[in-house]
Amino acid sequence: MTHDETVEMIKDVLAEAVPGADVAAVSPEENFRDRLEMDSLDFLGFVEALGGRTGLPLPEQDYPALSTLDGCAAYVVSRMSEG
């Protein structure tokens, strides 16, 4: 999966986790938790859905890497290439 494909998948997961959120308005480097006004439960739902979609374990210590579209995509791509 390419970086761009991964970003699109992450946007889909965000849209599922935060219904009605304007995911298209989030820039690649912007903290989407802030932009989409996600609370901790919204973010946890996103992380769980992302883990389900990718099959990757997403440990809590890695959550800071999952706060922007680019950072999250880079994390997912690198972890998928390890397996």
**CB-CB contact of 72 with 65 (8 Å):** yes
pLDDT, position 82: 84
CATH class in words for 3-82: mainly alpha
**CB-CB contact of 69 with 28 (8 Å):** yes
Kind and range of the H or E element at 11? helix 3-17
Confidence check: pLDDT of 83 > 80: no
> For residue range 29-70, what is the model confidence (pLDDT) as tens digits?
999 999 999 999 999 999 999 999 999 999 999 999 999 999
Q: CA 83, CA 73: separation in Å to the nearest integer?
A: 16
Q: What ranges do the domains of the chain cover?
A: 3-82
